[in-house]
Amino acid sequence: MTLLDIAKNQWARVDRVEGDAAVRLRLMEMGFTPGECVRVVAASPFHDPIAVNLRGTLFALRAHEASCLHICPMD
Amino acid sequence: MSDGLSCCSGGAPSDEGVASDGTRSAAESPEPLITLVGLPNSGKTTLYNALTGSNYKTVNYPGSTVEYAISRFLVGDRMMRIMDSPGIVSLSNQTPDEEVTVDALFGRTRHGMPDAIVIVADATQLARHLYPARHLLRAGHRVVIAVTMVDILEKRKNMSIDISAISREMNCPVVRIDGRTGQGVDALRSAVIGTIAAIRPKTPEKPANPSAEQIVDDYRELERIEDAAVDASRAPAGTSKRLAICMPDPTTERLDRWLLHPVFGAVIFSGIMTAIFTAIFWLAQPMMNAVDRNVSALAVRLAGILPNVWISHLLTDGLIMGVGAVAVFIPQIVILFFALGILEDSGYLSRGAMIVDRPLAAVGLSGRGFVPILSGFACAIPAMLSTRTIPSTRERLLTIFILPLMVCSARLPVYGLLLSFLTPPNQPWIGGIGLTALYLFSVVSGLFGAFLFGKFLKLEKRVRPALLLELPAIRKPKFRVVLTSTYYRTKSYILRAGGTIVVIAIFLWVLTHFPPRPGLTESEQMSQSLAAVLGQWMEPLMRPLGLDWRVGVALICAFAAREVFVGALALVLLVTGSPNSSEPLLLAMRNATMAHGTPLFTVSSCLGLIVFFVFALQCMATVAVSRKETGGWKIPMTQLFAFTGIAYIAAFAVVQTLRATGIP
């Protein structure tokens, strides 16, 4: 599942980052590394863009970038 | 002040961005160069302003394609140069803004290799903010880490930070600072002095882009350092330490429930925008009138003192009125920059960009284009400069393309004149509705223009541009910080726009006053000038619009700045007395007739003129900035000819349709 499929405010771990090389490099260098905890904090209509909590800050990601982030939910 | 989404990069401009002569000037200036580096929103520019204080000299480099600020300041008895540059996430640059910084970090500018780098790191997101530090240290740079936002970590998240642990782990000096209050700035200065005394083991070189494994390894190491440095034992229990560090602060979390809400978020956003627009137009009006009055008074007084020869007229009517044309917009620009400064320092600006991203993305623009478009309602020039924070070249060029369509403040006096001519005295609300409609129409035509131009723009057509926008913690804006950024941005605008407008104003003065014929009144002089000759050439072009050569002359003059149209029209229509009060001009417009006796200004010809001003790109300063920002003539020339062509055709269609249906 990707970051687009998870309920608001539920923590998840990044499993892997996909997409083209530039987006992957950018997402990973921004801190979306496998194993790190993420959480969707707010979503615009149609989940585009969404606000994601990562490493102490929030990011606005478009649906396309969010779909590059494959995750597994934490309990 | 942040630069993740800033209105134009903080500080002062700028540099030519020339990479070739780096070594030469390094030898010329023995003063050590300190470069500030940080992620967007790390508080870097605030620290820059705190470090340089009031007793610095900012050096401007004209002719720039890129923008950063350099100041000289005294540390002890040693003069140093300090450079502020746009924020970066890593050394693998992806935007024009970041390229500037990375080039500067590895000595590829005329300022040479930095002698030390101060990394500004946010204590609440240490791992991400230490990431570029790690790479710079590895590249061989001398680094000092300045930790900011400790107040948020302590007060809001109830955690504390051990500065010495970071210093031990990263193996470089670390200082706790608060640029907003100036705390820790002295300690930072001495840490920098200590650092540049050390010998640099090798000449720093830009590393290759890291592999996925390297990024993961780096972050693992940085998480370990973050864990060692941050003490979360006093934080509310219930979550693990790792999650507690990952959470944003509770205040931001609470406010974002409203600010980013799908419905209330949009309502709050509209409210804020309405407030800003109200301020720009109602608050600025008395100040603009005062500037206008004072400039005219100055010109009149000087004209009284100086001998009555053409060079004094050039000084009073050409130069002073040209300066006045720039100065009259300063109140609006200042209010806009002040409002943007508050939104930026409070952390709201990025949230606004997130809210408008979806509608803008539908036509190929980005939420990051929100600030440029907003600035475009004051002036297209600062708006174009502020597109540099848009990472996708395609989205950036599309934004620059549509900016001239926004109702900039120079169009207001023109619309004001024409609408008051059209508004019957007993129905004053018609003018208000007309103006509101023009504003809404400019947004609609801008979005449509982006959509249309996007079809023709081949560049990066298949790439899906990213947003990846950081939403910083929400804070109460600091008045002093906002004022400082307003000052720099206004200054940058005046320096950039001012020169061009003044040169064009003088050129137009020559056109309207040459060949000089002594003994004529100003209006007679103008009706026999070079501009009048040009206007008469234009007569065949003006006639389909129901206008004659006199309006043509005023339109030529409007190429200096659109609002010059009003004054030029007053002159050419033989208005005696002050061209600034619109009543005699309105009267002259009512009495003006075409060669064959029919009225010149009718409902149809005025509406046609308004439509012309809606689309036409008449501002040469905008064309010049567009060329500089897009790096070629293609886009500015497309803008100039397409917008002016559309303006002419649309005005023609409006005038002829109205006349065909019996409206004069």
**pLDDT confidence band for B234 (50 / 70 / 90):** confident
Write the pLDDT tens digit of every residue in B566-575: 877 877 776 5
CB of B402 within 8 Å of a chain A CB? The answer is no
B79 three-state secondary structure: strand
Contacts of B428 by beta carbon, 8 Å cutoff, 6+ apart: none
Residue B358 and residue A48: Cβ atoms within 8 Å? yes
**Which of A29, A35, A60 has its CB closest to that of B90?**
A29
Q: Could you give the percent of chain B with pLDDT greater than 90?
A: 31
CB of B350 within 8 Å of a chain A CB? The answer is yes
Give B248's contacts in chain A (Cβ within 8 Å): 41, 53, 56-58
**Which of B358, B464, B470 has its CB closest to that of A44?**
B358
Q: Does the pLDDT at position B156 exceed 70? A: yes
Residue A48 and residue B260: Cβ atoms within 8 Å? no
pLDDT score at B64: 33
Tell whether A36 is covered by a domain: yes
Residue A28 and residue B261: Cβ atoms within 8 Å? no
**Cβ contact B472:B2 at 8 Å:** yes
- Which helix (H) or strand (E) element contains residue B38? strand B33-38
**Cβ contact A15:A72 at 8 Å:** yes
CB of B354 within 8 Å of a chain A CB? The answer is yes
**pLDDT confidence band for B576 (50 / 70 / 90):** very low
**Cβ contact B403:B453 at 8 Å:** no
Q: What are all long-range contacts of A24-27, with beta carbons under 8 Å and residues at least 24 apart? A: A24/A68, A24/B212, A25/B92, A25/B209, A25/B215, A26/B89, A26/B94, A26/B466, A26/B468, A27/A65, A27/A68, A27/A69, A27/B468
**pLDDT confidence band for B67 (50 / 70 / 90):** low
Tell whether A22 is covered by a domain: yes
Q: Does the pLDDT at position B2 exceed 80? A: no
CB of A9 within 8 Å of a chain B CB? The answer is no
Q: Report the DSSP pairing between strands B116-122 and B33-38.
A: parallel
In this predicted complex, what is the ipTM?
A: 0.94
Arithmetic mean of pLDDT, B631-643: 93
Size of interface A-B (CB pairs under 8 A): 131
Residue B467 and residue A23: Cβ atoms within 8 Å? no
Give A57's contacts in chain B (Cβ within 8 Å): 122, 124-125, 128, 248, 470-473
Tell whether A38 is covered by a domain: yes
A33 three-state secondary structure: coil
Q: Does the pLDDT at position B582 exceed 60? A: no
Residue B124 and residue A26: Cβ atoms within 8 Å? no
Tell whether A1 is covered by a domain: no
The mean-pLDDT minimum among B6-10, B18-22, B85-89 falls in B18-22
Segments making up each domain of chain B, as ranges: 22-247
CA distance B43 to B91: 19
pLDDT score at B607: 94
Residue A29 and residue B125: Cβ atoms within 8 Å? no
Tell whether A27 is covered by a domain: yes
Arithmetic mean of pLDDT, B461-469: 80
Work out the burial of residue B530: count CB atoms within 10 Å of its CB; fewer than 13 is exposed, 13-18 middle, 19 or more buried.
Answer: middle
Which of the listed ranges B30-44, B63-77, B453-467 does the model predict with the highest average pLDDT?
Answer: B30-44
B402 three-state secondary structure: helix
Which of the listed ranges B202-216, B311-325, B414-428 does the model predict with the highest average pLDDT?
Answer: B202-216
Q: What b/e readout covers A56-65, taking b as 16+ CB neighbours within 10 angstroms?
A: bbbbbbbbbb
Write the pLDDT tens digit of every residue in A3-20: 999 999 999 999 999 988
Q: Nearest-CA residue of chain A relative to B254?
A: A41
Write the pLDDT tens digit of every residue in A26-50: 999 999 999 999 999 998 877 889 9
The mean-pLDDT minimum among B33-37, B252-256, B545-549, B580-584 falls in B580-584
Write the pLDDT tens digit of every residue in B15-29: 333 333 333 344 445
Q: Does the pLDDT at position B10 exceed 60? A: no
- Compute the nearest-CA separation of A48 from chain B (Å): 6
Tell whether A45 is covered by a domain: yes
Arithmetic mean of pLDDT, B637-659: 94
Q: Does the pLDDT at position B31 exceed 80? A: yes
Q: Does the pLDDT at position B55 exceed 70? A: no
How far is CA B173 from its chain centroid? 36
Q: How many domains does chain A contain in total?
A: 1
Give A54's contacts in chain B (Cβ within 8 Å): 246
Write the pLDDT tens digit of every residue in B314-363: 777 777 766 776 677 788 778 888 998 899 888 898 899 999 999 999 99
Using only the alpha carbons of chain B, give its radius of gyration.
28
pLDDT score at B355: 92
B22-247 has CATH 3.40.50.300 classification: yes
* Mean pLDDT value across chain B: 82
CB of A8 within 8 Å of a chain B CB? The answer is no
CB of A26 within 8 Å of a chain B CB? The answer is yes
- Compute the nearest-CA separation of A49 from chain B (Å): 7
pLDDT score at B504: 67
CB of B634 within 8 Å of a chain A CB? The answer is no
pLDDT score at B522: 67
Q: Which of B10, B90, B78, B74 is nearest to B43 (CA)?
A: B10
Q: Does the pLDDT at position B589 exceed 90? A: no
CB of A23 within 8 Å of a chain B CB? The answer is yes
Give A73's contacts in chain B (Cβ within 8 Å): none
Q: Which of residues 578-607 of B touch A (CB under 8 A)?
A: none
Give B463's contacts in chain A (Cβ within 8 Å): 20
Q: Which domain holds residue A48?
A: 11-73
Q: What CATH number does residue A57 fall under? A: 2.30.30.90
Tell whether A2 is covered by a domain: no
- Compute the nearest-CA separation of A70 from chain B (Å): 15
B83 DSSP β-pair partners: B35, B70
pLDDT score at B511: 78
pLDDT score at B496: 65
pLDDT score at B59: 40
